[in-house]
């Protein structure tokens, strides 16, 4: 069944559909990273050549100059396909749109066309060991030199840094200001001397993100994105694009924690005649379907000119909570079958991967707790907690787990 009726843009939709049908690369699962990256860049180049790269970006920077409706048509048509978009995701979804909004004409001409063509990969360097949910407490510092800035500090959870040619980095440029005021966003050449990328292994055993060490890295004066001291505003712009980017994506139906997969597990376990298990399955389906319908409704509202804004947090939070619900139901069905399995049993491995990857959804892109705050404060208008760090120069604040003033 289709969740959203196909309305408007009929001609555009059929063009997208035809092009995708002819250009989906072969499956990338199991490819070595270098080959995967190559396939991803080639796919992006093909998108660009066909006029489907940067759908909403202005024409003068190489984009298509179209609106969110076309973007959504493309996202809908691509949703069920396994496309190698991951390496370019941060650049296309976050850094690029931010440069469109805030970049100088020179920055746009230099960086956006290669990004659209798949020539250059970007990453985003915001989080730090001491600055997670509270990104504005970041300690990486950029100090002025005669011909630019010198950057020192450490970033973490940097997705795709291992492949990246450039990054958008947030650094503190004035520790005597309050914490949100003394920050600047820069373009960082990831190949510059002093940039060290170390993969971080996550609890599922994969290494999707990295630690990035920044030791006396030289930044030219024209590396500033937006204005000096207005890096927080630039970050908010970028996070807005991130929310759109996450909101447009749909959970993969192949996940071992999706309803269809859990139902298949129930069938394998011979549990579908058990009334209690049937009820659990029904409840799991109800929550998954309700979320699908909410996403579909928000897409329809977007098409009607009302983008969801902070309500995107509702869907993000619900998706994370749904994984926990699915883990509970799958556990009831599998019992000790997910404690141990034969090495060649793909079902056991898939379910274990699902269980072990689930916490990422509750943390990455804003924790469940932060999403709750966004819903409570920005949607419901509830008052913020008293902020003890709001009016204090950053130099005097306690940060992370490092205690004391610095």
Minimal distance in Å, beta carbon 195 to other proteins? Answer: 38
Residue 8's contacts (CB-CB under 8 Å, 6 or more residues apart) are 69, 303
Please spell the DSSP secondary structure of 200-258, one letter per residue.
E--TTS---EEEEEEEEEEEEGGGEES-TT-HHHHHHHHHHHHHHHHHH----TT-TTS
**β partners of residue 142:** 151
Count Cβ atoms below 10 Å from residue 227 Cβ, excluding itself. 12
DSSP H or E run through 188: strand 183-189
Distance of alpha carbon 110 from alpha carbon 61, whole angstroms:
9
- 376 interacts with other proteins by CB under 8 A: yes
Site string for other proteins, 315-354 (x = CB under 8 A): --xx------------------------------------
Pick one of 301, 345, 396, 405: the residue that binds other proteins (CB under 8 A). 301
Residue 301's contacts (CB-CB under 8 Å, 6 or more residues apart) are 307, 308
Distance of alpha carbon 323 from alpha carbon 79, whole angstroms:
20
Contact 121, 37 (CB under 8 A): yes
Minimal distance in Å, beta carbon 249 to other proteins? Answer: 18
**Binders of other proteins in range 237-266 (CB under 8 A):** 263, 266
DSSP H or E run through 167: strand 166-172
Pick one of 12, 19, 213, 285: the residue that binds other proteins (CB under 8 A). 285
Q: Which is nearer to other proteins, 6 or 143 (CB)?
A: 6
Taking alpha carbons only, the member of 98, 110, 133 closest to residue 369 is: 133
Binding segment for other proteins (CB under 8 A), chosen from 46-54, 155-163, 335-343, 384-392, is 384-392
Minimal distance in Å, beta carbon 90 to other proteins? Answer: 27
Contact 159, 212 (CB under 8 A): no
Contact 136, 181 (CB under 8 A): no
Minimal distance in Å, beta carbon 258 to other proteins? Answer: 14
Catalytic residue among 70, 77, 120, 242: 242
- 191 interacts with other proteins by CB under 8 A: no
Minimal distance in Å, beta carbon 376 to other proteins? Answer: 4
- 281 interacts with other proteins by CB under 8 A: yes
Strand stretches in 71-165, DSSP E? 122-125, 141-145, 148-159
* Residue 319 structure tokens: 């998706």
Q: Which is nearer to other proteins, 271 or 338 (CB)?
A: 271
* Residue the block writes with tokens 């008293």: 386
Torsion 214-167-104-136 (CA) sign: negative
Q: Which is nearer to other proteins, 4 or 349 (CB)?
A: 4
Q: Which is nearer to other proteins, 295 or 357 (CB)?
A: 295
Contact 259, 290 (CB under 8 A): no
Number of residues that bind other proteins (CB under 8 A): 46
- 373 interacts with other proteins by CB under 8 A: yes
Distance of alpha carbon 153 from alpha carbon 139, whole angstroms:
7
Q: Which is nearer to other proteins, 59 or 372 (CB)?
A: 372
* Annotation marks residue 211 as catalytic: no
**Binders of other proteins in range 82-121 (CB under 8 A):** none
Pick one of 21, 49, 221, 382: the residue that binds other proteins (CB under 8 A). 382
Binding segment for other proteins (CB under 8 A), chosen from 34-42, 245-253, 351-359, 364-372, is 364-372
- 314 interacts with other proteins by CB under 8 A: yes
DSSP H or E run through 325: helix 312-334
- 272 interacts with other proteins by CB under 8 A: yes
Q: Which is nearer to other proteins, 239 or 294 (CB)?
A: 294
- 268 interacts with other proteins by CB under 8 A: no
- 384 interacts with other proteins by CB under 8 A: yes
- 305 interacts with other proteins by CB under 8 A: no
- 6 interacts with other proteins by CB under 8 A: no
Interface ranges with other proteins (CB under 8 A): 1-5, 263, 266, 272, 275, 278-279, 281-283, 285-287, 289-291, 293-294, 296-297, 300-301, 304, 311, 314, 317-318, 369, 371-373, 375-377, 379-386
Q: List, by residue number, the catalytic residues.
A: 242
């Amino acid at each position: 069944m289709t969740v959203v009726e196909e309305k408007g843009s009929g001609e555009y939709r059929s063009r997208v559909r035809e092009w995708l049908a002819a250009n989906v690369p072969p499956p990338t699962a199991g490819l070595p990273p270098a080959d995967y990256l190559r396939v991803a860049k080639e796919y992006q180049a093909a998108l660009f050549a066909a006029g489907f790269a940067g759908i909403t970006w202005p024409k003068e920077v190489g984009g298509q100059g179209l609106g969110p409706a076309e973007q959504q048509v493309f996202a809908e048509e691509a949703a069920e396909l396994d496309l190698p978009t991951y390496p370019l995701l941060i650049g296309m979804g976050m850094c690029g749109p931010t440069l469109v909004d805030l970049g100088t004409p020179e920055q746009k001409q230099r960086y956006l066309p290669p990004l659209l063509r798949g020539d250059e990969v970007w990453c985003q360097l915001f989080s730090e060991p001491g600055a997670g949910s509270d990104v504005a407490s970041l300690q990486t510092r950029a100090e002025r030199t005669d011909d630019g800035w010198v950057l020192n500090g450490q970033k973490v959870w940097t997705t795709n840094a291992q492949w990246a040619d450039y990054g958008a980095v947030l650094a503190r440029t004035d520790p005597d200001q309050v914490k949100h005021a003394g920050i600047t966003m820069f373009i960082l050449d990831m190949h510059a001397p002093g940039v060290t990328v170390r993969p971080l292994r996550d609890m599922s055993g994969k290494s999707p993100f990295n630690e990035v060490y920044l030791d006396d890295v030289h930044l030219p004066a024209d590396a500033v994105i937006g204005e000096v001291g207005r890096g927080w505003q630039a970050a908010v712009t970028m996070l807005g694009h991130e929310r759109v980017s996450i909101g447009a994506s749909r959970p993969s139906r192949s996940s071992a924690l999706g309803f269809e997969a859990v139902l298949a597990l129930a069938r394998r376990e011979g549990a579908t005649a058990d009334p209690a298990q049937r009820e659990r399955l029904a409840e799991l389906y109800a929550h998954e379907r309700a979320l699908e319908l909410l996403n579909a409704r928000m897409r329809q509202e977007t098409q009607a000119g009302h983008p969801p804004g902070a309500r995107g947090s509702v869907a993000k939070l619900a998706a994370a909570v749904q994984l926990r619900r699915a883990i509970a139901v799958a556990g009831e069905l599998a019992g000790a079958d997910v404690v141990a399995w034969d090495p060649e049993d793909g079902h056991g491995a898939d379910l274990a991967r699902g269980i072990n990857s689930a916490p990422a959804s509750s943390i990455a892109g804003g924790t469940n707790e932060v999403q709750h705050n966004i819903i409570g404060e920005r949607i419901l208008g509830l008052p913020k907690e008293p902020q003890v760090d709001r009016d204090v120069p950053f130099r005097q604040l306690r940060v992370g787990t490092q205690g004391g003033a610095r």
